[in-house]
């Protein structure tokens, strides 16, 4: 049980390191929440939030965003991955 909590805290720390590159306040928020929460479920929720925040940032700042509206069969979508 303690091992799982340690792994979750380590993963949150890695996410915070990534988030800190583009949003210091949000990284500090996730780190403080991880220190407050003692349950596995709570830490999993914080980790999920941090991971989704990173993915959301990547989607918003992609140089070549994925095409939408029926473009799944296009040459571009078959050959280029934006991330």
pLDDT, tens digit, 9 for 90 and up, residues 4-60: 999 999 999 999 999 999 999 999 999 999 999 989 999 999 999 999 999 988 888
Please report which confidence band the pLDDT of residue 64 belongs to, taking 50, 70 and 90 as the band edges.
low
User: Left, alpha or beta for 81 (phi > 0: left; psi -120 to 50: alpha)?
Assistant: beta
Give the up-direction half-sphere exposure of residue 81: CA atoms within 13 A in the CB hemisphere. Answer: 1
3-state secondary structure at position 72: coil
> In the numeric block, which tokens belong to residue 74?
């296009």
């Amino acid at each position: 049980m303690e091992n799982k909590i340690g792994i979750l805290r380590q993963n949150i720390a890695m996410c915070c390191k990534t988030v800190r590159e583009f949003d210091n306040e949000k990284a500090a928020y996730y780190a403080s929440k991880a220190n407050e929460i003692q349950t596995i479920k709570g830490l999993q929720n914080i980790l999920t939030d941090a991971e989704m925040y990173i993915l959301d940032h990547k989607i918003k700042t992609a140089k070549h965003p994925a095409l939408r509206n029926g473009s799944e069969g296009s040459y571009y979508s078959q050959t280029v991955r934006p991330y």
